[in-house]
Structure 1
Amino acid sequence: MKLNKTYSAILLSTLPLSAVQAAGLDRSGQSISAFLQPGNYAEAGITVIDPSVSGKSIPQLGSESISDMAEDYYFPSAAIKVQATDKISLGLIYDQPYGADSIYPTNNVSFSQVNPLSTQRESTQVEVKTNNLTALIGYQPTENWNFYAGPVWQTVEAKIALRGAAYGNSGYDIKLDEEEAWGWLAGFAYQIPEIALKAAITYRSEIDHEANSTESFGFGTIASPLSPDVTAITPQSVNLDLQTGIAANTLAFANVRWVNWSQFAVTPNLLKLRSGSNLIDYSDDQWSANVGVGRKFSDKWSGSALVSYDSGAGNPVTTLGPTEGYWGVGLGGQYSPAENYFIQAGVRYMWLGDAEAKAGPNVVGEFTDNTAIAYGMKIGYRF
């Protein structure tokens, strides 16, 4: 079942939707599948997420309903891989691995309050952005083995406002300036082309950020007299990717991912001094999996279907993203006008896990029966 170059891309490229509403702040899933493509290869893609997350505040805060507080968001990705020699390959991958976008409704007093300086009602808002650039060099001693490693450059920035009774009407604000830091990854892959078997395991290190911050309580009336530096360590992770041919023109595939969220915490100095709490933390590590089948229908068309699972990162969770993992199903299709390029699209529907949301050590809300839908598109080119 040795496959041509177009079909061999079905698994490692189809369904450009990976960790689209996952545990912690995880988003992209940090795939290196583009680097494992045969020959010279480039791709660009975008994923759009439309979550619907609602709930209610706890009885001690009035049991108010909380309408949809999760913002739609998107993240792009791009990669290029060059087979420099028979045994050496080079690659560059861009993604946005972590993030959060939430705005609570202003009609809920648990998560909003009036700013006495402007007399405007403001709600709890969260925006976290990251950028990731991974450089790879691979060594292929034989057709079957590929050993790879490389540096990872990453930036993180955030803007967070906490409002309402859930946070003691503190009017807390923090802004983390965009800062860069370095990490690394390493892994290996094994393949048997005759049966379309591929397996890869990739480790990514944690990355230690020292971000300059502006932190205040009372809508800016109490500024931090302490060091403005905030430590944020994005977590280490391991990805396992598998595929094998199971019939003519048909592949089975699986991806398993572990992320060390239980060791992750963001602890601004002024917030810790006044409340004794972290801004963000998680109690458990994340485990996620995608399992499915890809099939070639003709020289130009192929498709795939998958089932996905995410364990979440513990419960209660931060109010930044009050869900605990998910179950999901997805469908994807690929059109290949010629052997050297293709266009893909995919959609996934997710049932988000129920969760209790906490502010510091206290549970302040309950979120149940929530869902999300994700759309993705990707273009791949061989040269």
Structure 2
Amino acid sequence: MADLPELPATITVDLDTPLKRGDDAIATLTFRRPTTVVLLDMSLIQLGLVDMDVMRDLLTRTSTVGLIGEEVDKIDGADMLQIARDVSDFFQIEEFEDLEIHIDGDIVTIPLVKPIVRGETTLDELRLRRPDSGSFRSLSLARIGQMETRSLAGLLPRISMSPLTEADTYAAEPGKQRGSLHAFLVASICTLARPGAIVDINVAPDRQQWWPGSPLIDLNPHGRTQNKKHRALVPVLPALDRWLRAEYATYIALSQQDRAGRGWLVNYHGRPIQDVDRAWDTMLTNLELPKGREWRSYLLRHSLATLARNRGATKWDLEGFMGHSDGSQTEVYAIGEFPSVVTALEGIVADMERLAPGAMHRSRTEHGLVGQLSKGDENVS
């Protein structure tokens, strides 16, 4: 990124006609550079046109002396013109015209004039995907077209994929012994399951969770009693199907006596693991991501569910897919296909593939055996 001039945090305007406040006279006014929160409910287009109704609100929100609307109304016209000109400089970016916005298919990378500080991490660019219809849920297209800040602030988190993609790219890096973390991330994205259910996925036939060609995976293995943390029967996304087939190929390549205790999707050298907490913490450190509660592995499904909902997943589908619908009589007779969730998750996976090609693929896939399975050779005897 090119070197940028220092952005002023405030601007100060000397008034030709001091503003009366009781017995005092205010001769200078200082205004802070506004953040997105300050600009909520304002149109950036109207700000650019120096719409006085919008400018009035902006001045009351950014004044260091706590101006109220009635005081702004009493500012002399010539002084207001000067204030409007100076405050407008906050939004002038001619000096940054050499910044390059990179477009790669449906992904746009936008350098930030003022980097965002996230804990100990600094973001100097945003990578955004082309929004689909689900991204606009509860938002007004007209207000987005008018560049209303609240609507834009609602849209940007829905189309930003960077942290999730960075995590998956990190886990997929060849030669780094991160296979268990990689499998955990892929399965989490494809199933929205809790961490305990993810590390419990096993392709061994006696578990009765999945077999090659099955369109569904039962997150509740044979013999486990359902509890309040219901584990659902969910569709298998293509990205997860590749991983399951690869693990199954590894499993059937073993001798009968060596198959005992094997077949775990999330494993360490073939053996089961209880969690990925240590690998998760190492990832956060290496990627310089925050380590607060909102970044813990068990909240990954909450973030993914929000992304899916914002992409059009219906409430009923999402509840069933995530196991919030606990096996009612309806579910006994009707196995949910959850099409809106599947569509949303496939869109997320597709965007991640565009951002980081191959990051959703298992690097250790046994191509020959998987190829045989895809042709129907699924004998486990």
Q: Which has the higher strand share?
A: 1
Q: Which TM-score band applies after superposition, normalised by the shorter structure? A: under 0.3
